[in-house]
A and B are shown apart, each in its own frame.
Chain A
């Protein structure tokens, strides 16, 4: 099965790192879309269906948390799995994200194998990783 992916981060370097990690993890990717903040991501999601969203938390204009909240309110996007990719180490923040419906949290820096485990957990329901929210 091939996937359509949205990567949301204000750093183009991180967007490239996530794209490469997805490729190195062996994901069959049909399309990759990129956005520089939550607002751009929401605009893109109006016209493109994606299977999974990877988003940073701290971004200008609209944060990752605001993006997740907007997706939850929108109805149609509420079931799209969201993985937060962030340096933020706070356990309480991760708990907050879980309550908002975020499916998993990937701490930067990450390795492709960790990335793959998270994606498999989210897309296929594998229970082999402990990093999922």
Chain B
């Protein structure tokens, strides 16, 4: 049976994944700071004992910094900017591994879909279990988990 996942636990898993994958240090933020500029959303569908959507929202500037950290490149390197969407997509992919392990346990057969990344409005709020994070630099990151049937994740 899928376990419940609170916003606090979702936040903890995102903090751990950001730190381990990209040396980005963040913590839960309530209320969250505003997004600094254009916002990108990376999301993927998952399936297994339950289905749903997991997503990350962050400014394009944060995503470029994320790419720089993951690539071991300089933030000013144009390559970091070019690969920012890819980096945010990969981050939601890695977070999905941690979230599905928490939801379904190690013995369930779960599947992680291919991430998609697109620009979204700063004012729109994703539905479902939502956690707000802020990095040491003050960048905002939103994490959301939405089960397909609207029930608890």
Residues of chain A touching chain B, judged by Cβ–Cβ distance below 8 Å, are 10-14, 16-17, 20, 58-60, 86-93, 107-109, 111
Binding site for A on B (CB under 8 A): 17, 20-22, 48, 67, 70-72, 83, 86-87, 89-90, 93-94, 96-98, 100-101, 104, 106-114
Q: How many A-B residue pairs have CB under 8 A?
A: 71
Q: What are the residues of chain A within 8 A of B71 when measuring CB–CB?
A: 13, 16-17, 20
Q: In angstroms, how far is the closest chain B Cβ from the Cβ of A108?
A: 5
Contact A90 B114 (CB under 8 A): no
CA distance A40 to B94 in the complex (A): 23
- In angstroms, Cα B109 to Cα A58, docked, is 14
A87 and B106 within 8 A (CB): no
Q: B84 — nearest CB in chain A belongs to which residue? A: A13
Chain B residue at minimum C-beta to C-beta distance from A94 = B106
Provide 28 A-B residue pairs closer than 8 Å at the C-beta atoms, listed in order of the A residue.
A11-B86, A11-B89, A13-B67, A13-B90, A14-B90, A16-B70, A16-B71, A17-B70, A20-B71, A20-B72, A60-B114, A86-B97, A87-B93, A87-B97, A88-B100, A89-B97, A89-B98, A89-B106, A90-B104, A90-B107, A90-B109, A91-B106, A91-B107, A92-B109, A108-B21, A109-B20, A109-B21, A109-B94
- Whether B97 contacts A88 by the Cβ 8 Å rule is yes
* A38, chain B: closest CB distance, angstroms: 13
